[in-house]
Structure 1
């Protein structure tokens, strides 16, 4: 199985984007999946992911079928 590596700052960028748009795109979901599968995440990034997942679960973030919010 190929290893998945996140870009530096990917978690904080994902959080900032989702916070601004209140939505998560297909690209964001792939980034989220990669982050969840990364066993080397620091505690701070893991905490941020947990916050994001709780927000999704509680319906505070809308899941959209767009590939990206960047035009």
Structure 2
């Protein structure tokens, strides 16, 4: 399945609105991390998503 090109900012907004991280969202995050060209702000977005998961504010679903 191809990964759509959504910005991390858009992904963050989508996840925070729905309060869930889907399998597709995880694939997009993994692709961004493995791409190796993230800037400091993009790393901060990913860290904020992980923080929200740890706090229980966002759930991971399949």
Asked if Structure 1 and Structure 2 have the same fold, meaning a TM-score greater than 0.5 normalized by the shorter chain, the answer is yes
Ranges of 4+ aligned residues in structure 1 off by more than 3 Å: none
**Where does residue 48 of structure 1 map in the other structure?**
45
Match of 2:10 among 13, 38, 42: 13
1:11 CA drift (Å): 0.4
**Where does residue 33 of structure 2 map in the other structure?**
36
Aligned Cα root-mean-square deviation (Å):
1.6
Gaps of 5+ in 2: none
1:57 CA drift (Å): 1.9
1:38 CA drift (Å): 2.8
1:36 CA drift (Å): 2.1
Compare CA radii of gyration and give the structure with the larger one.
Answer: 1
Gaps of 5+ in 1: 1-5, 66-71
